[in-house]
Structure formats: structure tokens, C-alpha cells
Structure 1
Amino acid sequence: MIKAALNLFILVLLSYAAAGQSGPVQNNKARVALSLNGKWNYIVDPYENGFYDYRRKAFDASASGKGGFFDDVTNTDQSELIEYNFDYSPALNVPGDWNSQVEKLELYEGTVWYRKKFNMSPDKGKKYFLYFAAANYEAHVYLNGKKLGVHKGGFTPFQFQIDKHLINGENSVVVKVDNTRKQDEIPTINTDWWNYGGITRDVFITETPQSYIADYKIQLSAADRGTIEGYIQLAGNTQTENVKVQIPELGISLQVKTDASGKAHIRIPSRKISYWSPENPKIYGVTISSASDQVHDRIGFKTIETKGQDILLNGKSVFLRGISIHDENPLLAGRLRSEGDMRMMLQWAKELGCNYVRLAHYPHSEDMVRLADEMGLMVWAEVPVYWTISWDNPDTYNNAKQQLTDLISRDKNRSSVIIWSVGNETPLSEQRHAFMGNLISHARSLDNTRLIAAALEVHRNGTEVIVDDPLGEKIDLVSFNEYAGWYWGGTPDEIGKYHFNIKYSKPVVVSEFGADALGGFYADNKTKFSEEYQEALYESQIALLSTIKGLRGMTPWILADFRSPRRQHPIYQNFWNRKGLISETGSKKKAFYTLKSFYSKKQEQYK
């Protein structure tokens, strides 16, 4: 009975957190009232002593709701037994991961408690939200000893309304973060990237009026490039009221009235739009106003669609000259922490000749996508449905669906995003087809202005490379990963014997190919892990892929070397995936220039 009640309690908390207080406020960073970035005290807790008692009962599910580290108490009586103390504990930088900041935590997976004290003088006429841009993976959040909720997912934002829990003066926020890999989670146990744990992105408190602009979508109509459409959603003390959308540079000032639920749909004809593209990354200042609230954003307008085997950006055929990117700085261990880190990665892509990037294999930072808007790089955005998932588990599906929802909700106003991807290299089975098919349908229900894709696997029959996956009927692109010359297919000079049998007559975008090369290791083009081998493979792959009639883009694997516990060769890898075109020192490998030359020719071809 107690176990059943506890499970129910946990499920309630999880659904409360998944709802995210109706989802994080759109463009939340524009409303920062107080940043909580900086030094947070931390306690490493591999046995979770701060969460469970010795009978493995959760303290926050007890009758008192007390007894855990989240109480953040210190001794007031020397006879009192308290076996932790945040005040004397070391500190971690937030945003940041614990693996790269503390040597003894480099390979640690488990629970770490974070504590931050801050002062506030809350206005009783305002609402306040505690916002996390990301924490990996499961986060239990407490404010002044009261549990706000739980969030699962290492790369999506979440928030909690905190008006009732704020104190006028000093406050304490405590977060239990657990990055333990589990079979039924998204992603699952087996991945090919470092499992960075911690509060890896910004944390701040936002302030809104009682009635506030919670959400909006303002994008070009998929059916008419001369019309801006979308909606505005008010929350809080919602009632019917007037809201205004202004785009001064286009001479637009539209006033509409919300319905009883606080929602208003907008449709604005405009023939003066300068369309966003890599050659012209035009972004307009947009202001949305209600009676009590106002939000500013910067939004570009474009359309993306397919026609036969063409991809059309603003009605014009385009070749996606791309590269895959991980959310990791090869020069400084850990996740990308700042705009400078992110701009460096995207600038490298621009130097390669890219007009497009695949942000793999999970949602990257909102700041990264906004930089792509500004810098003129189209984006493939992805959720971590990766390799072998628990396809039959309804909770696993709901988790994936929520992460996809959060990604689309967060980035739906970003002009750079042209593709929502629902997964990577998932093996064929009826259960997987249902799982992935439902995600595709869900993505389409949320956004009809982008393409839907997944990085599929290929299969081989002799020298025939077969692309035949039931998802091919449902997605907009024939997108697949293909590793001839590395994991199969002999040496680079043998790649030419292969040919493709692609079932679907759609645009082909090769989402991965590549080979490892240790930067600075030179040999002949038959020696694996040498720069010459990688260079020869790129030359042969480009020749092979160019035989595909419908080839309209690619994102080779990958821009820069990244860390992975799966890559253990002591000489060539040493816990690094070396498929980067740029080494961990920032040096460009020979294959970088091979791909750059190909992209230069494609750029001329598609002018």
C-alpha cells in the first residue's frame, strides 16, 4: 500500500513537471529578473543519502516532507545530527557539467545535489518562475525546502511557478540532478557521446504580470509566402482582451482580440518581406503587447518544402551543404557554455562552406539556434531517440513525445530551423515503426511549416546499399547514415563498387558518413586513423553519393572531435571520437579541405 502510494505520488510529480506549468514561457530569456548563473555549492551523493532514508523511503514523500538535503539546514544545536553542510561544500560553475570541472567526477554517473542562495524582494502583484534551460538528466527541484517538481530530459527547458514559495530576503534553491543512464529513458543506456551531468545551461528567475504573454508563433504561412500567421496565447488571469503585433520595419501593426481561453490567431498579409536565407539572414524586430505585458523578439521569415526530389527554400531549389555538430567544445572540456563557444563552432561550419548544420543528437541550446538565425545557417534539430529504445514502454514514448514537444515549442519561431528529426539509427521492428510513426504525426500536428525527418539506417545486399524503411513513407526526406569505408565496405578505393537502391522518390539528405582520423597522424590512405585515410574516404564518399539522382544535401560526421567513453583505443582515440574534420586542438584535418572544395562547387551550381 505504501509502495503504491509512493509510486502514485512520483507519477503525479512527473506529470506536473512534464506539464512545465503549461510549458516554459516563450522567449523566456527576454524576461530575466534574476540570473542564478555562477557558483553553486554541491554535494556528491552516490548512495542518494540526501533523498532516501536507510529503508529506501524518499524523504520528500514522508509525512513531514523533511529530512533530506533539500532542507538545506545547518546545526543550531551541537547535539543535533546533520551529516551534510552546503555552506562548507565546494562549488561548481552553472551553467556547466560536473565531469569537466572536477577531475574525480570525470566518469561519474549518479546524483549530485546543487544549492544556490539568492536574495529577492518579490512583488505581490507579479508572478515568478524558476527556469532551467537544461539539466541532465533527472532533476528534482526544491525552493526553501518545498518540492516544486521533477523534470526528465537532459536537453530541454523547464520551469516552475514559485510565487507562493519565495521569501522576501534570502532564499535557497536546491536541485538533485541524476545523470544515471537507464534503459527506459530518452536517450537510453547506450550512446556515443559523453554523459555530461549537471545543470548544463542557464538558470534564472523570470517575472511576469498576473496576465502575461505565455506563448506565440509568428511565422510565414506554409501555403503563402506573402502572409505571416500564427497565434498569441495569454496565461495567468486570462480574459478576453486586445493584443497587438508590431513589426515596424514592415509597417505592420495588427490588433486582435483573444478568446475566453486567452488565445488569438493572427494572419497578416505582407508583400514587403525580405525572406530569410543563408545568403540573406534577415531578422525583423517583433513586439507583442497585451494590456499588461510586452515581449520583444527577433524573427526571420522563410518557407521550406519539398517538390519531387527538390528541397525548396523560399520557392528556390537548394542544396544543403551541411555538417553535424555536437554540443561540446573540443578545445575546453564540457558542453558549450557561452555564446563565444557556440559562435566558434558555427563559424567553423561557415568556413567549411556550410549553409546548414545538423545539431545532433538532442536539442542544443536555444542560444545556438538563435545564433544560426543570425549567421545564416539552416538547422536540423533532433530529439535523442537514439539507437535501441524501449519501444513497448508507454512511459518511454510519452517521455520522447514530451521532449519533442518542448523542442518544437521552444524553437518554432526560429527561422533557421528547417527540419525536425524524430530520431537516429533506430533498428527496424513493428514496435519501433509505431513509436516513431506516432512521433512523426505528433510533430506535424505541432508545426506544418517545417520538414520532418529521421536519420535512418541502410542495409546491404552484396554491393547494393538499400534504403527501404517504412518510415520513408512518412518523413519528407530520404535521410540516412552510411559508413562505407569505415565500419564496412573495405578501404576508400573500394567504395566505388557500391551502388544505391533507394525505394523512395524524395530528396536525399545523407545525415552521416565519415572516418576517424587522429589529427597530425600522417600515413598512407590505407592506414586507418590517419588523416590521409579520412581524406581518401571523403573523396570516395563524395564520388559515390554524387551518383544519387536525388542527392540534395549531407551532414558528414562530424565538425569536431568529441569525447566518448565508447572510443577506447589508447593511441588513436583515448575516449575521443576522432571523426571530426577539426581536431581537439582546433586544427583542420585534410578532409576538411576536401569537403570545402566540394561545397564550393555545389554553391556555384545552386546559385
Structure 2
Amino acid sequence: MVFIRVLFIFIFLPASAIVVASVRSEIPLEKNWFFIKNDGISSNEVPLPTLRWKQVTVPHTFNRDDAADGGGYYRGPSWYKTSFTLKTKQDERTFIEFGGAAISADVYLNKKYVGRHQGGFSRFRFDISDFIKPGENELNVRVDNRKFDHIAPLWGDFSIYGGLYGGVKLIKTSVVHIDLLDYASDGVYVHTKEISSSSAAADVEVLLKNSLQEAAAIEVVVELNDQDGRIVSRVSKPFNVAAASSLKTIVPITVRQPRLWNGVIDPYLYSVKVRLFKQGKRVDEVVQHIGFRNITFDPKKGLILNGSPYKVYGVNTHLTQRPEKGTAVTSKDLKEDFEILDELGLTGIRLAHYQHPHYIFEHANKKGYLIWAEVPLVSEVNASDEFIQNAKQQLRELIRQNYNHPSVFVWGIGNEIYKADADANRVVSIIHHEAVKEDPSRPTVYANCCGPVTAPIANHSHLNASNIYNGWYKDQTGSMLEWGRAAHAAIPNRPLAISEYGAGGSIYHHELPPQLPETTGMWHPEEYQTLFHKRAWRDLKQMDFLWASFIWVAFDFASDGRSEGDQYGINDKGLVTFDRKTKKDSFYWYKANWSKEPVIHIESKRYRERTSAVTDIAVITNLHSVKLYLNGALVSEQPALDHEVLWSGLRFKAGKNIVKVVGDNGTASDKAEFVLIGAEHSEQ
């Protein structure tokens, strides 16, 4: 076995999910916002209140209605404003947190410039303690989602919605607190030194901030609890923090007989309390969830989790998009998305092609999903110092804000850079080395496309992965299995994954038997998408050497430059429609293969109107056998072969026909209605 990297991780949920009323408070700023597009307004001038502002609620995007119609969408500056009244004390500091603002944001408080953030997908914070005044405070934010040559991404196959899409809140802390300004992380990093079945040892790194003009004697207490709330470790250590300064502190902890975080098999989480005391008084506290796990990668066996081979299969996602909302999604929306994804029975998720909301990581921690988290280095790069510095900044935000999640198992350092020249190779190499410096415990990976697995651009990272669309795009010929075996033979000592595979599919387009369509055309029959995924998964099951495979993509998503399928501006390769209302047949194919729940699903239900009286009916299932009834009469019971049952030569009557299928022992059933039209020609 080739040893690539060992990950022994203590993991926490971000402080944004925790409210400790006595020492730290959070005040959401959601309502009473006003918005105006910045047409003709100077970029360094806060707009006059007499202009026509529109009242909105944050999260908000100004591209909700134009980024998914194929007609082009507004990319430019806009302004947001609100006001708040906040009582402050001398022994407090106040921070403002933005969950995300695409793609550049300038913040003003009471007409004074607070700061700028460049990067559209990560959270960011400012200390606004010195900007707050008694009484009402006016907050203005200028957001700009234009293409900037020095901000990643330069472009990508997805719409870049502008606005304050991630929510805004105030955070009040003591003047002595756990630092909130380390790239908007939670200021706590846990580094495991060793782990075994009998014990684990780790250093809990806590970043202390003293805003006083005098030194502060601080006691840091770290308490670890198991899932039942029992204390398994408690350590206290004193530190002296100089006036108006920060201090990196280390508190070692040990755990006897740790229970491992073991993916979907047993996603066991501990909890830890990090408390600060000054003169015996608690001044700050953060409660987190953590986990322990060990991952290695083997070129022949794939991923090894806690000593055993572990299959990672799942989906790519653009979870931060919805019709009627754009990227202004809420935790409620994300919860609904995961109710769908959880149903699939997946074990991994690739968060493409940028940082995603913390809710997703938290849910993955609890469910045991392994997460590929990625920096927005996609499609195009330039090698300017400004661009590289911005890419490094966004990488640090990605890693430091998500450093301790047990779900995160690789850092994605780039995707499909089409011009893989010397500049692109230099940038990818730099980002790889920066990721190693930030987190030596996790491997890096690059999603390669349009070139061999031996290409230089694919080999700066620790792991190799490719976006493969054999059976969809006509320039990618042969089966996925043929590609996989050839790729494995070309790089036998490098762990290999398939980072993307998929095909378009419209729930309004139907064809039997399905033929490969013009992929850039307006005809994408759902039946061909299903056929593609049947072939793909059957090939993937034969490639034990893969460390992961991810479908492109979970949900249809906005890509305004596309003009294909049944709707302009949409990439329709999703297993589920953009509005989340319809699960395509391919969704049930994977559910039948991955989930333990009984699955029985009639294919091509939406192909309701038929012109031939003689037809085939295919059923996707994970049951042993299926009975089929046509218009109330039992046709036959057949065994399932590789999750599929096929009835050939069924005869419909003119008009309505009811097909019902029932699984063995009545465990599950499905029903569909078909209408035979033009019956006089049905025998041909």
C-alpha cells in the first residue's frame, strides 16, 4: 500500500452555530435593508438617501431574475444599506460578519470606510468597535460581481450571482476573546499528534486576542465530552497576553479508547468547550463538535478509512442556487436539499467549485459524508502577483474556516483550467504548496479535464482526479471502464478518482429507445441520461482502485451562458430539477444501488403519451423480484437483475393504461399511467 497522507482529526462546528449569552452574543441583521443598483454612482461615494432604494431582506442577490435565463445577466456594482442601534460597553468588542458577498465588497459604517473583502464565497469579518456611535448606526455595503482580473474565479460554467447572499450579523465579545479575525475562522485548530485504539493525543491551538491597553492573565480551559455528555478530558493552562496583541496558545489533551468517526457507518462526534477566564471570571466560550478519524489512499485499493477499504461515491453540488432565490438560500433551503441527498444513500460530496455554507459541513459531519472542499480556481487563471495573492487568501479562508470538520478529506486546488500552459501550472503548483503549508494533514487534488492523467497540470497535487464524460460528449469515446483501466495503467502508483461524470436530461424530452443526442442542442431526452448512468455505475463498480467518484451533478443549476436542453441558462445534468420538485429516473437508479431503503420505480413515467401499442416497461429496484400489473391484471413476476427488471412486448389498449409494479412481499410499489394515441398505427 502506498502511504499518501494520514488524517487524525479533531473536528468542530463553527462558532457561528453557537450562542453563549453570557459571554458572546450574536445579532442577525436580516430585515430593514435597502438596495439600489449602482448605475452611474461613484465607487467611492455612499449613495444619497434620496435615491430610489428598494426594501429587501438579507440574504439577497440582485441576479435572482436574470442569471438563469440564457439572456445574459447584470454583473456590476450595487449598494445595500441598513441601520441598527446597539448598546455597547467598555469591556466589549463588536464584529460584523458577512456569510458571503459576491464578488467584491466594501463596507462603510456611519460614512466611514471599514474595509474591503475580495472573494465571493467565503465568510468575512471586520472589527467595527471603533466605528460604532451611540444611538442609530448606518451601515452601507457596496457589492460588485464584475469579472476582476485579480479575483478568482475569472469565469466558470456557472452563474456568479451578486449580492449579500450569505447573511449578515453582529457578534459581541469581551475585550479578551478567542480571535475572530484569523481569516474569519473560529480561532481554534486541533492538531492530532497520535491515535490508537487505546488513546489519542492532540494539541488544541487557541488564538487569543487582548484588546486592552494592558497585559491580561488568561486561563484557557479545554473540556472534552463524549456523545452522552460525559467528560473524557479536561485541561486548564494559564497564559499571559500582552497589551493590544494576539497570542497563539497550545493546550494538549488526551483521550482514552477514542471512538472513531467512521463515515456513514458510525459518524461519532465528541464535543469540546474552549473557555477563557480572566481573574476567575469567564470572558469567552466556544462549544464545538469534534471527531477522530484516519484516512490513507492506496493506488490499488482506493480510500482506506480507519484501516478498512471504504467506498466514496456521491455527487457534485451547487447547493447555493435556487430558482426564485438565486444564491440567497437559507439553512431551511439547505436542509430541504439534504433531505433529498440523504435519500440517495451517498457517502461523499464534492462541493464545486468554491466554498459552500457551513451548514453543509455540519450536516456532513453528522451524517458521515466525506467532503471534497474546493477553492474557486476554475476554467481560467492568470499568473499576476495580485491574482495569486487573492487565490491564496481564498484558500486560507477555505481551510481555516473548515479546518477541523471530520467530513473534509481533501482540498481541491483547481478545476478544468482549459489553457494548461506554463502560467497555469505555476499557479496550481503555488496553490498546492500553500495548501500543504496551511494543512499538512490533508492531501490536495486537482480536477483534470481535457487532457491525459499524465499531464503536468494533473500532477502538482497529492492525488489524481479527472472529469470524465465518456458516453456524453462525442470527443470522449469508449466506455468509462476502458478509460479507467487505461488511466490506472498510465499512473499505477498514483491514487485515482473520477471527480465528475454525467449527462444532460430533461423531464420534458423522451425517446425510446434512447439515442445519444447533440449534447449542445435543445433535445436532451431523460431516457438517455438514465441509460448513461446505468452504464457508468456498472463500469465504476468494477474499478476498485478508485478512491472516489462523483456524479455531475446533484441538482440542475444556473449557467447563463448555456443554451441547451429544455431551458436556456440551465445546466440540466442534475439528478433532480433546478426547482427540486422532480427527481429524474437517474436519481432512482442511484438510490436503488446506494440506499438500503426499498426502491421500486417505473422508468419513463413522464413519457405518458405513447404511439405504439407494443411497448417495453423497465423498472429500477433493489428488491429481489417485482410483479407487474397491466390494467389490473397480473402480467408476471420477474427477478431483478442488477437493479433492473424489464418486460418486453407489453400491449397497451387505446386510451388510458395503468401499470402497477409491486416488490417482493409487497415491500414497495409504484404506479404509472400511459395513454395510447394513434392506435390505428400501433401495430407498425
**Equivalent residues of 1:257, 1:264 under 8 A apart:** no
Q: Which has the larger radius of gyration?
A: 2
Do the aligned partners of residues 251 and 337 (structure 1) sit closer, same or farther apart at CA in structure 2, a change above 3 Å counting?
A: same
Do the aligned partners of residues 196 and 521 (structure 1) sit closer, same or farther apart at CA in structure 2, a change above 3 Å counting?
A: same
1:278 aligns with 2:264: yes
**Equivalent residues of 1:121, 1:167 under 8 A apart:** no
**Which one of the candidate residues 78, 93, 98 is aligned to 2:62?**
98
1:229 aligns with 2:228: no
Letter aligned with residue 278 of structure 1: V
Letter aligned with residue 574 of structure 1: Y
Q: Which residue is 1:501 aligned to?
A: 487
Partner Cα distance (2:219, 2:192) in 1 = 22
- Identity percentage over the alignment? 26
Q: Which residue is 2:136 aligned to?
A: 170
Do the aligned partners of residues 489 and 100 (structure 1) sit closer, same or farther apart at CA in structure 2, a change above 3 Å counting?
A: same
The offset of 1:230, in angstroms, is 3.3
Partner Cα distance (1:135, 1:582) in 2 = 27
Q: Which residue is 2:38 aligned to?
A: 45
The offset of 1:99, in angstroms, is 1.6
1:197-276 matches, within 5 Å, as 197-214=162-179, 215-218=187-190, 220-221=192-193, 226-237=200-211, 239=216, 241-249=218-226, 250-258=231-239, 262-276=247-261
Tell me which protein shows more helix as a share of its residues: 1
Do the aligned partners of residues 123 and 248 (structure 1) sit closer, same or farther apart at CA in structure 2, a change above 3 Å counting?
A: same
Do the aligned partners of residues 333 and 248 (structure 1) sit closer, same or farther apart at CA in structure 2, a change above 3 Å counting?
A: closer
1:327 aligns with 2:331: no
**Equivalent residues of 2:343, 2:595 under 8 A apart:** no
**Equivalent residues of 2:299, 2:546 under 8 A apart:** no
1:343-422 matches, within 5 Å, as 343-390=335-382, 392-422=383-413
Letter aligned with residue 583 of structure 1: T
The offset of 1:287, in angstroms, is 0.7
| Aligned-residue CA RMSD (Å) | 2.7
Q: Does the residue aligned with 2:267 lie in a helix, a strand or coil?
A: coil
Q: Which residue is 2:617 aligned to?
A: none
The offset of 1:69, in angstroms, is 2.1
The offset of 1:257, in angstroms, is 3.5
**Equivalent residues of 2:297, 2:547 under 8 A apart:** no
The offset of 1:548, in angstroms, is 4.0
Q: Does the residue aligned with 2:265 lie in a helix, a strand or coil?
A: coil
Q: Does the residue aligned with 2:560 lie in a helix, a strand or coil?
A: coil
Q: Does the residue aligned with 1:347 lie in a helix, a strand or coil?
A: helix
Residues 518-527 or 538-547, more deviating = 538-547
Q: Does the residue aligned with 1:262 lie in a helix, a strand or coil?
A: strand
Letter aligned with residue 205 of structure 1: L
1:233-271 deviation line (CA, Å, top 9, x unaligned): 101246553211001334211112447552222332212
**Which one of the candidate residues 117, 125, 132 is aligned to 1:151?**
117
**Which one of the candidate residues 569, 584, 601 is aligned to 1:589?**
584
Partner Cα distance (2:284, 2:389) in 1 = 33
**Equivalent residues of 1:324, 1:557 under 8 A apart:** yes
Partner Cα distance (1:287, 1:163) in 2 = 26
Partner Cα distance (1:280, 1:403) in 2 = 32
1:441 aligns with 2:433: yes
Partner Cα distance (1:549, 1:467) in 2 = 18
Tell me which protein shows more strand as a share of its residues: 2
1:473-506 deviation line (CA, Å, top 9, x unaligned): 4423221101112223578x86676552343323
Q: Does the residue aligned with 2:121 lie in a helix, a strand or coil?
A: coil
**Equivalent residues of 1:135, 1:155 under 8 A apart:** yes
**Equivalent residues of 2:411, 2:435 under 8 A apart:** yes
Q: Which residue is 1:10 aligned to?
A: none
Q: Which residue is 1:517 aligned to?
A: 505
Partner Cα distance (1:573, 1:397) in 2 = 36
Partner Cα distance (2:26, 2:481) in 1 = 59
Letter aligned with residue 375 of structure 1: K
1:21-77 deviation line (CA, Å, top 9, x unaligned): xxxx96245344321122410111123x142xxxxxx4xxxxxxxxx225x5x5xxx
Q: Does the residue aligned with 1:346 lie in a helix, a strand or coil?
A: helix
Q: Which residue is 1:462 aligned to?
A: none
Partner Cα distance (1:474, 1:257) in 2 = 43
The offset of 1:144, in angstroms, is 0.2
Q: How many residues get paired?
A: 539
1:480 aligns with 2:454: no
The offset of 1:573, in angstroms, is 3.0
**Which one of the candidate residues 161, 164, 168 is aligned to 2:127?**
161
Letter aligned with residue 36 of structure 2: I
Partner Cα distance (1:472, 1:355) in 2 = 25
Do the aligned partners of residues 584 and 226 (structure 1) sit closer, same or farther apart at CA in structure 2, a change above 3 Å counting?
A: same
Residues 198-207 or 298-307, more deviating = 298-307
Do the aligned partners of residues 474 and 375 (structure 1) sit closer, same or farther apart at CA in structure 2, a change above 3 Å counting?
A: same
Do the aligned partners of residues 307 and 584 (structure 1) sit closer, same or farther apart at CA in structure 2, a change above 3 Å counting?
A: closer
Do the aligned partners of residues 158 and 226 (structure 1) sit closer, same or farther apart at CA in structure 2, a change above 3 Å counting?
A: same
**Equivalent residues of 1:138, 1:154 under 8 A apart:** yes
Residues 252-261 or 513-522, more deviating = 252-261
**Equivalent residues of 2:220, 2:274 under 8 A apart:** yes
Partner Cα distance (2:37, 2:323) in 1 = 26
Tell me the TM-score normalised to structure 2 length.
Answer: 0.74
Partner Cα distance (1:97, 1:110) in 2 = 12
1:36 aligns with 2:21: no
Residues 104-113 or 474-483, more deviating = 104-113
Do the aligned partners of residues 90 and 194 (structure 1) sit closer, same or farther apart at CA in structure 2, a change above 3 Å counting?
A: same
**Equivalent residues of 1:284, 1:300 under 8 A apart:** yes
1:295-318 deviation line (CA, Å, top 9, x unaligned): 112222323232444312223221
Partner Cα distance (2:481, 2:466) in 1 = 18
Q: Which residue is 1:554 aligned to?
A: 549
**Equivalent residues of 1:155, 1:364 under 8 A apart:** yes
Partner Cα distance (2:166, 2:479) in 1 = 44
1:342 aligns with 2:327: no
Residues 541-550 or 127-136, more deviating = 541-550
Q: Does the residue aligned with 2:551 lie in a helix, a strand or coil?
A: coil
Partner Cα distance (1:69, 1:101) in 2 = 26
Tell me the TM-score normalised to structure 1 length.
Answer: 0.83
1:362-407 deviation line (CA, Å, top 9, x unaligned): 00011221122223222111111001111x2111011010000001
Q: Does the residue aligned with 2:566 lie in a helix, a strand or coil?
A: coil
